[in-house]
Amino acid sequence: MRSTPKNIAILGATGSIGRNSLQVIKALPDRFRATYLVVRRNVDGLMDLVAEHRPKGVALLDEAAADAFRQKAGDSLEVLSGAKGVKEIVGRDDVDLVISALVGFAGLEPTLEAVRKRKTIALANKETLVAGGELITRLVQEHGVDLIPIDSEHSAILQCLVGEEPASVAKLILTASGGPFLTTPVERLASVTVEEALNHPNWKMGNKITIDSATLMNKGLEVIEAHWLFRLPPERIDVVIHPQSIIHSMVEFVDGSVKAQLGLPDMKLPIQYALTYPNRTPMNGARVDFPGIQSMTFFEPDRRKFRCLELAYGALQLGGTAPAVMNAANEVAVEAFLDRRISFQKIPDLIGRTLDAHAPGPVSELNQILEADHFARSHARSLLS
């Protein structure tokens, strides 16, 4: 057994995954230490976390926010800034494991750097594999890196696959809560408010991922992630609506049997599993009360109502740079909706029109992904204007 705690760098420390990760680490002080905290620009939130968790250093992607943080923190700890500062942290010798939880495309390059530096990676940033899955998985294999999913759905699949032969897997079944608009008539979606879209029935998450859950783009991104993590084609990755969010995902095997991973909707469980993988560690907290649940229901997703799911499957089928373009257009569209510049139903419209304007190219190096991302953001913004 390791005599000293593993040093962990948390990318996206002030977000939902970051804060839950810090609680898991705090509960296991003999196993882990939050050595470095990285955020985009949340100065006040980072100050609070520094006071509680006493990291060795921090980094802020936003240079102006980093300057503001330095003024508040003084000389009490090391403060790095910008993409260069984040890359430096993930590559340091005193980092054993990187939790990649920055929201959006910003998480791709730091995760790539962690792969190149042969760090164990606990991945919560969906966009890393959506935009750069082909490149990331190739480099993970070349460098012999452990890439462990934190997303509850992919963690569930990983747990179901323990001890199983890859050839015995027939298909993966990702579960989705259905979000706040599961029973909302399609004609009503054009007028839903930002506040309604942010009112998720089961999970407490950041704004961007909550809107993705409302459009089911979140599940589309997870289909693409599952493709790269578990090396199955899209036609063998299904999505089923499960409003209770007790079954986090399932694996069907060639003999017809199905394995499912169940648990309450609490992200601390998949985070701890990723940190302690392949072992399990006791965790305090509520347990599933089956008599209290009484029933679990399942529905086929309505892909005409939730068009983002269909767009994600289509982008995966196109391959190459198409998923990166879809991801970037989605980020622009979600931001525009949160800013009340477009309606909820315009989100898939903007993504689809941007995909239609793009001719997918190969993905063998980072520049190709960056160019596709730049094209998509530029084109989507031009459509907005």
| Residue 101: pLDDT over 80 | yes
Residue 381's pLDDT is: 98
Which structure tokens are listed for 47? 């100050």
Q: Are residues 11 and 48 in the same domain?
A: yes
Does one domain contain both 69 and 159?
no
209 backbone dihedrals φ, ψ, rounded to 5°: -70, -30
Q: What's the structural domain count of the chain?
A: 3
Evaluate whether residue 279 is within a structural domain: no
Give the CATH number of the domain where residue 385 resides.
1.10.1740.10
Do 171 and 187 reside in the same domain of the chain? yes
Whether 207 and 238 map to the same domain: the answer is yes
Alpha helices in 28-149 (DSSP H): 43-53, 63-73, 82-90, 108-116, 126-143
Q: Is the domain of 184 the same as that of 137?
A: no
Peptide bond into 185 cis (omega under 30): no
Distance linking the first and last C-alpha atoms of the chain: 58
Cβ burial 248-275 (10 Å sphere, 16+ → b, else e): bbbbbbeeeeebbbebebebbbbbbbbb
Q: What is the pLDDT of residues 276-292, one digit of tens each?
A: 999 999 998 889 999 99
Q: What is the C-alpha separation between 223 and 308, in angstroms, rounded? A: 12
Torsion angle (degrees, nearest 10) of CA 16, 288, 236, 130: 0
In-domain check, residue 276: no
The reply to whether 234 and 136 lie within a common domain is no
pLDDT bucket at 361, cuts 50 / 70 / 90: very high
Range of the domain at 323: 319-385
pLDDT of residue 385: 87
Last residue of a domain, one of 101, 125, 149: 149
Q: Examine residue 286 and state whether it is found in any structural domain, yes or no.
A: no
Q: Give yes or no: residues 170 and 304 share one domain.
A: yes
Q: What is the CA radius of gyration of the chain?
A: 20
Confidence category of residue 351, pLDDT binned at 50, 70, 90: very high
Q: Is the pLDDT of residue 296 over 70?
A: yes
Q: Which of 116, 149, 182 is the last residue of a domain?
A: 149
108 assigned to some structural domain: yes
d(CA 71, CA 359): 47
Residue 377 CA to residue 88 CA, distance in Å, equals 27
Residue 348: left if φ>0, alpha if ψ -120 to 50, beta else—which one? alpha
CB environment 207-217: b (16+ within 10 A), e (fewer): ebbbbbbbbbb
Do 373 and 233 belong together in one domain? no
What is d(CA 311, CA 298) in angstroms, rounded to the nearest whole number? 22
- 331 closest CA partner among 193, 207, 154, 186: 207
**343 falls within a domain:** yes
Residue 1: is its pLDDT beyond 50? Answer: no
Q: Hey, how many other C-beta atoms are within 10 angstroms of the C-beta on 28?
A: 17
> For position 74, which CATH number holds?
3.40.50.720
| 277 located within any domain | no
Mean pLDDT score across all residues of the chain: 95
Per-residue pLDDT reduced to its tens digit, 13-55 = 999 999 999 999 999 999 999 999 999 999 999 999 999 999 9
Asked whether the beta carbons of 135 and 112 are under 8 A apart, the reply is yes
Q: What residue spans of 198-261 are helical by DSSP H? A: 207-215, 217-230
Closest CA to 277 of 122, 144, 151: 122
Q: Which of 162, 160, 168, 151 is nearest to 203 (CA)?
A: 151
CA 324 to the chain's CA centroid? 14
At 127-182, the pLDDT tens digits run: 899 999 999 999 999 999 999 999 999 999 999 999 999 999 999 999 999 989 99
- What is the structure's pLDDT at 3? 65
Q: What average pLDDT does range 345-354 have in this prediction?
A: 97
Asked whether residue 273 is assigned to any structural domain, the reply reads: no
Same domain, 300 and 228: yes
Give the domain-ending residue among 97, 125, 149: 149
Amino acid at residue number 6: K
**What is the average pLDDT across 202-216?**
85
Phi and psi at residue 14, in whole multiples of 5°?
Answer: -90, -5
Indicate whether 113 and 130 sit together in one domain.
yes
Co-location of 122 and 161 in the same domain: no
Residue in the structure block whose two tokens are 């839903």 = 192
Model-wide pTM > 0.85: yes
* 3-class state of residue 111 by DSSP: helix
Residue 248 within a domain:
yes
Let me know: does 34 contact 167? Beta carbons within 8 Å: no
Instruction: Assess whether pLDDT exceeds 60 at residue 2.
Output: no
- High-pLDDT (> 70) share of the chain, %: 99
Asked whether the beta carbons of 16 and 204 are under 8 A apart, the reply is yes
Pair of tokens at residue 49: 């976390």
Reported as type and span, the H/E element at residue 18 is helix 16-27
Q: Are residues 16 and 111 in the same domain?
A: yes
